[in-house]
Amino acid sequence: MEFLKKIFSPLSATINYIQNHFKAMLFILLLVLLFAPAGKQELTPNNLQQIFLTGPIMDATEIVQKIDKAAENDAIKGVLLTVDSPGGAVAPSVEIAYALKRLKEKKPVIVYAKGTMASGSYYASIWADKIIANPGSMVGSIGVIMQGADLSGIMKKIGIKSQVVKAGLYKQIGTPDRPWKKYEINELNKVIQGTYDMFTHDVAKARKLNIKKRDMFANAHIFTAEQAKDVGLIDEVGVLYNAKNELVTLSGVSHPVWNQEDEFDKLMKKLAASTAVVLQTYFPELILK
């Protein structure tokens, strides 16, 4: 027995040390992570800010907060919105557009189309001082759509029937338990057309385009960067380097210092975007697309 104790005594001492000091070590580690600068970038407050609009637009709360915070921060002399989004819900897209418009009144704003800047994400970008698109990006798709699944066939096969009590002829619009009726589709068409009119008028106003010729730049056309420039949807074709340099010039900073987005935040945004796509398949919503 004494022999076994001698063999395992070093291991036992190590375990006891960890138990006694682990909390203190963990606390010190947290302090280091919280207060130690990650590099030279952290020692100097950034004077230019890059904000990312990525994935489907289903909620604008976080990005609008970032835009408004940048607007109120006197240290920030200019903002670059980097876009790679297929669009999304109407209201959040409009929220971002108007937040960007407020920001533009205080400091220069450049939008850079990294990959896809379509529909709602284009709407969100229209009030920038300048829009620059990657040569390989897709721009446009100015249109509105509402779609939903008809699950009546599946429900019948598995023996599920829906029961509805409603007040109002149009209250069941968008239901997935039966095909939509003609009068319901007509009602939805009015909403979709009204939203499309709002979308195209705002684009024409922001980009100084002729609304009477909206079929040339809207009508859900999808453009390459060069084509988008030809119809007036963007200002220049270039890469991120060009977009950053343009903002440096407009903001007048002599020593540009950019912010860094947290990698964990990027991962969480991608997960949220994937979830939104799945939910959108089953629950109809008015989408800029």
Q: Which of 93, 139, 145 is nearest to 232 (CA)?
A: 139
| 53 contacts 84 by C-beta, under 8 angstroms | yes
Q: How many CA atoms lie within 13 A of 125 on its CB side?
A: 35
Q: Which of 69, 19, 20 is nearest to 49 (CA)?
A: 69
Q: How many CA atoms lie within 13 A of 8 on its CB side?
A: 8
Q: Which of 77, 93, 107, 119 is catalytic?
A: 119
How far separated are the first and last CA of the chain, in Å rounded? Answer: 76
Q: CA angle, corner 234, sides to 99 and 239, nearest 5? A: 95
Residue 119 appears among annotated catalytic residues: yes
Q: Which of 171, 205, 213, 266 is catalytic?
A: 171
| 44 contacts 217 by C-beta, under 8 angstroms | no
Residues that are catalytic: 119, 171
